[in-house]
Structure 1
Amino acid sequence: MTREKPGRMMADEMAEQPAVLRRILDEGAPAVRRTAGRIAARHPRFVLLTARGTSDNAALYAKYLLEVRLGKPCGMTSMSTVTAYGARPDLTDVLAVTVSQSGGSPDLVASTRAAREAGAITVAVTNNPDSPLAAVAEYQVDMLAGPEKALPATKTYTASLLTLYLFVAGLAGDDGAEARALPGLAERILARGAEVGRLAARYRFAGSMVLTSRGYGYPTAKEAALKLMETSYIPALSYSGADLLHGPLAMVDNVSPVIAIVPDGRGGEALQPVLERLRGRGADLFVVGNEGAVAGASAGFALPTAGVPEELQPVLEILPLQMLAYEVSIARGRDPDAPRALAKVTETR
């Protein structure tokens, strides 16, 4: 019997992403707008976001959107204050958004239930509308990614980003029409797999990696680091560019691989001093960004971001980095479909 090629599920799910993005825009967007409109009418005073793992990085993206677009104070929940310590904060008129692919993690369910009991307006953004999380939240938003079988989340991450973008746009009274270009651009990026495969050879024997960005690109750096760690077991540290300059830069030298996500916009502008310092230290610098940003690096992947608002670029930025994690894992003899010691649903409490 022929053994199935390692990583087949992850590869197939990465390839599904343009279709998932189209489904969200064509089928999911009206429901997302309706839900956002009902919540906006209740005028929440600030926002709390709750998530784990890949969904935590999507929630961080939503934090940037909420603070920049709506001017809403926004924080990330410390779930253990409720689930382990039994704290019961007053969340009257607070919007509590929980992001979870499976909707089955007990700590997310418990935290959302407690938030609703404490007076919050609770929303579950999940890929499983029949999940325990969806059942305890007041509102439910379906990311419509379809079943995801590979342990490394790929299509549910980009689905989360687009769904959260449409949700925040709906809170602002916007229809999110600027996202219409994303599926076609995603297809163009994913068609460049051979290019990523050649780039992956640089990191086959990497002992560690550093990833950095600023602004809307920072959640991409965190998610890419997670993908590299869970598929290839490479210790990958992610930092905001500002934080990287406050000490961690000392560990970067001319044999240290650094991946920088350079957004085409204010986040990329804010990252320029960091890139200069990295080049000054002789870092092996890999850039994901526009052609100009890539030209000044040791290697890179040029994104077709011309005309794409900076707040939507994370949906595209992560795609070559998902492919990179996949290709590095295969080159190192791993199976990215089944990382050791990992489960699809995290059973933390």
Structure 2
Amino acid sequence: MSAEAEIQQTVLGNIGDQQEMLQAAFDARDEFIAPFLEAFRAGPVSRVVFLGSGTSYNVSTLAASLFSRVAGVEGVAPYPTEFTHYGAGLDPAHTDPSSILCVGISQSGTSISTCEAIEHAKSSGYRTLALTGDTTSRITTIAETVTPLLVGLELTGPETKGYTASVLTVYLWAFAVAKETGALDAAEADSGIAAAGEVAAQFKTVIREAEEWYDRNRPSLLHSSRLNILGYGADHATMLEGVLKVAEMLRVPTIGNLVEEHVHGPTMALKFDHATLFIGSDEAEFERMVSIRDAIGEHAPGAHIITCRDFDGADDRDLVFSVKANTYLAPLLYTVPFQFLAAKGGADVFIDTNVNPIPIRFGHYKDE
């Protein structure tokens, strides 16, 4: 029996390990920043195309936003199959392909759609880079540059610390590139990077407060006939990851939407026993989001705000983290309550989250 087979991991155990993992990854950040910068410097970059499926797609959408908004380099995140078969994410103009950097994100390195997308990108003349937790996996035989995802072992099916490790990675990439391009001056970029280390060092508090939020709201959350998860801005990705985690583990009807789009039709289906979870990014829509929460709460009281930002009217339904993070780093925190809702909620209703109810491996190469 291999050493890995002897390790008995649980999703809840992996959630609890996230501070140690994040601190270790932050301390060793040159291992994944240096090769990325080297690939970036190899020639002019007109666009970075982030490619991943599942949790890695959610990370890709955040990465695209960070590169566009922080690094001053256009970032896009098409689905890998849409990129491979239909050219999604590519400039319809005849841009020099060597100026486009395609980044494949796959924790296992065996995602079929991502490996095929990177193979297609490479054969089409695009520059390619892989971010993976297994630096001997299939994707590493395809991409020109490989950067390690410093997540350690995650042997459970649903990925939790893999997501947070990936968020930390793309956040640090964006600030390192911003320093390189001059989108931020050196002091601003270094401050943004240091902020990640400060949050990593306080992550046990994030984990504790997220679990306390779940525990005090457990009865209403678990008795909801539907969960609505709403985000905006940088936390579009957090919304997607929240929906995915709940689908993987709690397995109840769940929809995700942007806050503003949710009031253009979906609220017509609102029922008293629906829970609505708002991700309160510190961005332009925050006050509008609070107003919408208050209005929805009059009809379905299970309306919760998850945020780092203090606001009037917060109550026990809400989670206002005592750990504060900037707009672009906060997604690292906001996924944790959804991890507890999914994993601890699943355990509380006797779901074995390590067992796939459809035991067919669709998305990964079967021999790896």
Q: TM-score, normalised by structure 1?
A: 0.88
For the pair 1:32 / 2:32, whether they are aligned, the reply is yes
Cα gap change, 1:293 to 1:127, in 2 (>3 Å): farther
Cα gap change, 1:66 to 1:343, in 2 (>3 Å): farther
Q: Is the 8 A contact 1:217 1:267 kept in 2?
A: no
Q: Is the 8 A contact 2:308 2:330 kept in 1?
A: no
Q: Is the 8 A contact 2:225 2:273 kept in 1?
A: no
Cα gap change, 1:267 to 1:181, in 2 (>3 Å): farther
Question: 1:213-258: per-residue Cα shift (whole Å, max 9, x none)?
Answer: 1111221111111111111111111111122122222222432210
For the pair 1:257 / 2:275, whether they are aligned, the reply is yes
**Number of the residue aligned with 1:75:** 76
| Overall identity of the aligned pairs, in % | 21
Q: Distance in 2 between matches of 1:321 and 1:289?
A: 13
**Number of the residue aligned with 2:340:** 323
Q: Distance in 2 between matches of 1:267 and 1:161?
A: 22
Moved more, 36-45 or 235-244: 36-45
Deviation at 1:14, TM superposition (A): 0.8
**Number of the residue aligned with 2:184:** none
**Number of the residue aligned with 1:64:** 65
**Number of the residue aligned with 1:4:** none
Q: Is the 8 A contact 2:224 2:273 kept in 1?
A: no
**Number of the residue aligned with 1:135:** 141
Q: Distance in 2 between matches of 1:343 and 1:171?
A: 40
Q: Distance in 2 between matches of 1:47 and 1:343?
A: 33
Q: Distance in 2 between matches of 1:286 and 1:276?
A: 10
Q: Is the 8 A contact 1:93 1:119 kept in 2?
A: no
Q: Distance in 2 between matches of 1:82 and 1:33?
A: 25
Secondary structure in structure 2 of the residue aligned to 1:102: coil
Deviation at 1:305, TM superposition (A): 3.9
Deviation at 1:122, TM superposition (A): 1.2
Deviation at 1:206, TM superposition (A): 2.3
Equivalent residue for 2:292, pick from 274, 277, 283: 274
Q: Is the 8 A contact 1:288 1:294 kept in 2?
A: no
User: Amino acid of the residue matched to residue 241 of structure 1?
Assistant: V
Give the gaps of 5 or more residues in structure 1.
Answer: 1-6
Deviation at 1:82, TM superposition (A): 5.9
**Number of the residue aligned with 1:225:** 243
**Number of the residue aligned with 1:211:** 229
Deviation at 1:195, TM superposition (A): 4.5
**Number of the residue aligned with 1:3:** none
**Number of the residue aligned with 2:3:** none
User: Amino acid of the residue matched to residue 234 of structure 1?
Assistant: V
**Number of the residue aligned with 1:201:** 219
User: Amino acid of the residue matched to residue 364 of structure 2?
Assistant: E
**Number of the residue aligned with 1:51:** 52
Cα gap change, 1:301 to 1:132, in 2 (>3 Å): same
- Greater RCO, 1 or 2 (C-alpha within 8 Å, sep 6+): 1
Q: Distance in 1 between matches of 2:9 and 2:354?
A: 7
Q: Is the 8 A contact 2:61 2:76 kept in 1?
A: no
User: Amino acid of the residue matched to residue 312 of structure 1?
Assistant: L
Deviation at 1:286, TM superposition (A): 1.4
Deviation at 1:96, TM superposition (A): 0.9
Q: Distance in 1 between matches of 2:163 and 2:284?
A: 23
Cα gap change, 1:279 to 1:194, in 2 (>3 Å): closer
Q: TM-score, normalised by structure 2?
A: 0.84
Q: Distance in 2 between matches of 1:345 and 1:20?
A: 29
Secondary structure in structure 2 of the residue aligned to 1:140: strand
Cα gap change, 1:18 to 1:267, in 2 (>3 Å): farther
Deviation at 1:50, TM superposition (A): 0.9
Structure 1 residues 124-163: aligned runs within 5 Å: 124-163=130-169
Q: Distance in 1 between matches of 2:359 and 2:327?
A: 33
User: Amino acid of the residue matched to residue 228 of structure 1?
Assistant: V
User: Amino acid of the residue matched to residue 36 of structure 1?
Assistant: F
Q: Is the 8 A contact 1:262 1:293 kept in 2?
A: no
Deviation at 1:74, TM superposition (A): 2.6
Cα gap change, 1:85 to 1:58, in 2 (>3 Å): closer
Q: Distance in 1 between matches of 2:303 and 2:138?
A: 43
Moved more, 108-117 or 259-268: 259-268
**Number of the residue aligned with 1:184:** 201
Number of equivalenced pairs: 341
Q: Distance in 1 between matches of 2:196 and 2:362?
A: 30
Q: Distance in 2 between matches of 1:310 and 1:180?
A: 15
Cα gap change, 1:345 to 1:315, in 2 (>3 Å): farther
Q: Distance in 2 between matches of 1:246 and 1:234?
A: 23
Give the gaps of 5 or more residues in structure 2.
Answer: 1-7, 180-188
Secondary structure in structure 2 of the residue aligned to 1:261: strand
Secondary structure in structure 2 of the residue aligned to 1:92: helix
For the pair 1:236 / 2:247, whether they are aligned, the reply is no
Secondary structure in structure 2 of the residue aligned to 1:310: coil
User: Amino acid of the residue matched to residue 205 of structure 1?
Assistant: H
